[in-house]
Chain A
């Protein structure tokens, strides 16, 4: 069997595993968020918070909950890093500098997990487990909560009520993320991922001398890092590090973990709006893009166009032998089409076009299948845009799921899709125009430009992967990328929740013969087209200067 066949078989196995998990997990999550019963442990938590989980919230109140929780999260994580030098069980590691601590705190709270630090030399046990890993859980739960609030907006009528933020947050953590992560972490340890709280390991080497490596609660963090589509590695090499991702099986398992919740949420959505077929249409759209991008990535990586790769006889730079080109390509598209940003191979050393595919995946808005929660709400915004475009073509007021897409709704959707391109393009232009940011590049020419374009694309879309040649630990990049992550996460959430509130207040319009059927393949096709066209028109000039110039040279 050749590597290409093996790559395709791995993709098929992954699709099979995701298909098996789709109905049970999607149905379970729908029950979790629709249930009016509370687990005992949840009641204790609500008591601790001092919140009544049965109080319904309108969108401004829901949003205030999201923002308050996130502001506190940033401050707490910032302080934890600034105080690391005096914290116990931190290996004697010193405190993190202010600009880097700000960047990292924002990065983990926004589900980005951009890392301008080197995990193994900078972050001790307490910051990793009680700081960074906690945000891996809660930022993912916040994402799902906002998505569920939007779905309730479609499902409910003549009310402005979207649910209770604290209940959605706690349920996401307690009933969905913790059980999944606990099982996944044990599987990863069984593969060889480390899980201990001992200090620095000093062990002998084969040719003599000693080597020192950092121990830690790696498997438990790795599990939620993938499940929550976070992506911040315990080690600098992220999921390429053998202690995070030891075997070919653990690799495929981690890709599965990245994708399983975002895909299954389309069933949750279908059940909550009362039509699983609507969920299938969204699923089909996501799956088409994900499979298409993965095929494209495999093609360009196996073809290995580029002087150094031609010389070497393969695009193996930055890739691990145990994964090979096929499994590295699947990981790369799965991580950039979600908001994960974990890597098992280094994107900067992919072929020019391969790097472009990774970037384009993020530029689509990470909606195929996207981050936990953020993928679903991002895709539903595109679904609204698509029915609006279809409505313009036939000259009638567009509807989606029985709700009119009027001027207020389409304005909110339009604002949503303008936020990240504005951040990416303006900040990339600024970085290129100013004299010093370019000093951070490792490569020159088109690839150097790509390093900066990739950084702002990754931060603004809350991905976190990088063309890691860029030295991003400068005050300029720590600050501006931090701002991109903040605005790129929370401005869209404002528009999503406002839209949800507006939809929930409407009286549903009955479907007629003239209503566009949004549960049919035709509509899924229109949606794919809308996504590609909108993103293409927005980013084509920038892509032409970077990855296209490099890939077609």
Chain B
């Protein structure tokens, strides 16, 4: 047989053996070891930071949910979120963004409609929302479509509506929001935020406790 063919074959065989050995190390041992440590030290987080209300799991504190009634605080829009199109034996959340550019007519329309809805929904008898005061996160979709947070400004803007619909004093709801507001980590990392699911769980506990 041709010498170079033999050599190439040998080289490819060495490559395959290298790949298999390194696959055992980095594709089997490494993830298993990390999983072992993670499950031993942080089992709650490693399994998705599930959050309970009345003993029932109501989601993950990291995964934003859609479809809250107006009695509750509203999340950001999620126009890029989808459901799976393959392996349809499941109904999986498909994370994603809209990927629309700043001059995209559809995005302009979405922002306009979202803003009008935020103004309309949150204006009550004694509180009128000024369109210019609606923060940007209230009318735009996040990168994942699963943003669990809203800005403190957007939460504050919803306080009057939530108070009115639940028959609670405005100050009490505002205090609840403040308790669930996280500042920047160490004072400078990221942006201040309010976790919508955690806030709504606390709100429900408050209303059902009455």
Q: Do A and B bind each other?
A: yes
Asked if B87 is at the interface of the complex by the 8 Å CB criterion, the answer is yes
Residues on the B chain within 8 Å of A72, using CB: 12, 15-16, 18-19
| A-to-B contact residues, CB < 8 Å | 1, 3, 5-6, 9-10, 13, 45, 48-51, 64-65, 68-73, 76, 91-94, 118, 120-122, 129-131, 133-134, 137-138, 166, 169-170, 173-174, 177-178, 181-182, 185-186, 189-198, 200-201, 203-207, 211-215, 217, 219-221, 224, 235-237, 240-243, 246-249, 251-252, 304-309, 311-324, 327, 343-346, 348-349, 351-352, 355, 442-443, 445, 447, 467-469, 550, 553
Contact B12 A138 (CB under 8 A): no
Given contacts A50-B14, A121-B84, A247-B190, A194 and B48 within 8 Å (CB-CB): yes
CB atoms of B103 and A447 under 8 A apart:
yes
For residue A114, give the distance in angstroms from its CB to the closest CB of chain B. 15
- With A45-B21, A308-B111, A316-B137 known to touch, is A166 a contact of B14 (CB < 8 Å)? yes
**Cβ contact within 8 Å between B136 and A351:** no
- Collect the chain A residues with CB atoms within 8 Å of residue B172's CB: none
The 4 closest A-B pairs by CB, nearest first: A306-B102, A248-B190, A314-B136, A240-B143
A262 CB to nearest B CB, Å:
20
With contacts defined as CB atoms under 8 Å apart, how many contacts are there between chain A and chain B in the complex? 392
B142 touches A318 (CB 8 A): yes
Given contacts A9-B188, A306-B103, 20 further A-B contacts (CB under 8 A): A45-B25, A49-B17, A70-B15, A93-B86, A121-B84, A133-B31, A195-B35, A203-B59, A211-B65, A217-B31, A248-B190, A312-B140, A317-B141, A321-B191, A344-B143, A346-B80, A349-B97, A349-B98, A349-B101, A468-B99
Complex: chain A residue closest to B67, CB-CB: A207
Q: When chains A and B are docked, how far (Å) is the Cα of A308 from the Cα of B38?
A: 42
Question: Taking CB as reference atom, which chain A residue is nearest B84?
Answer: A121
Chain-A contact segment, one of B39-47, B121-129, B163-171? B39-47
Q: How far is the CA of A178 from the CA of B111 in the complex (A)?
A: 45
Cα of A212 to Cα of B80 in the assembled complex, Å: 17
- Of the candidates B95, B112, B184, which one forms a contact with A120 in the assembled complex, judged by CB atoms under 8 Å apart? B95
Whether A206 pairs with B200 at a CB distance below 8 angstroms is yes
Q: Give chain B interface residues in 40-71, CB to chain A under 8 Å.
A: 41-42, 45-50, 53, 56-60, 62-65, 67-69
Pairs A–B under 8 Å by Cβ, sample size 17: A13-B188, A45-B18, A76-B16, A178-B25, A185-B34, A189-B38, A193-B45, A201-B48, A206-B72, A214-B92, A217-B31, A318-B80, A319-B140, A320-B144, A443-B104, A447-B104, A469-B101
B94 proximal to A (CB < 8 A): yes
Chain A residues with CB under 8 Å of B23's CB are 130, 134
Q: Among A48, A68, A186, A197, which residue has the most Cβ atoms of chain B within 10 A? A: A68
Q: How far is the CB of B153 from chain A (nearest CB, A)?
A: 10
CA distance in complex: A322, B181 (Å): 12
Expressed in whole angstroms, the minimum distance between the Cβ of B107 and any Cβ of chain A is 4
Q: A189-B42, A248-B189 are in contact. Are A237 and B145 (CB under 8 A)?
A: yes
Assess whether B98 is in contact with A45, with CB atoms less than 8 Å apart. no
Question: Would A327 and B189 count as touching, CB distance under 8 A?
Answer: yes
From B26, B67, B107, give the contact of A178 (CB < 8 A). Answer: B26
**Among A186, A306, A312, A321, which residue has its beta carbon within 8 angstroms of that of B38?**
A186
Instruction: Quote the shortest CB–CB distance from A442 to chain B (angstroms).
Output: 6
Residue of B nearest to A192 (CB): B45
Digitize B166-210: 1 where CB-to-A-CB distance is under 8 Å, 0 elsewhere.
000000000000000000111111110100010011000000000
Contact of A320 among B42, B147, B186 (CB under 8 A): B147
Name the distance in Å between B93's Cβ and chain A's nearest Cβ: 5
Q: Is B162 an interface residue (CB 8 A)?
A: no
Tell me if B6 is interfacial: C-beta within 8 Å of chain A: no
Contacts of B12 in A (CB 8 A): 68, 71-72
CB-based contact A174/B25 at 8 Å: yes
Residues of B within 8 A of A241 (CB): 95, 144, 146
Q: Establish whether residues A349 and B100, one from each chain, have CB atoms under 8 Å apart when the complex forms.
A: yes
Q: Are B101 and A322 in contact (CB under 8 A)?
A: no
In-complex Cβ contact of B188 among A6, A92, A182, A220 (8 A): A6
Q: Which residues from B are CB-within-8-Å of A447?
A: 101, 103-104
Complex CA gap A480/B140 in Å reads 34
Q: How far is the CA of A72 from the CA of B12 in the complex (A)?
A: 7
Inter-subunit contact B98/A122 (CB<8 Å): no
Contact A351:B102 (CB < 8 A) given known A50-B14, A242-B146, A320-B142: yes
Question: Do residues B100 and A242 form an inter-chain contact, with CB atoms below 8 A?
Answer: no
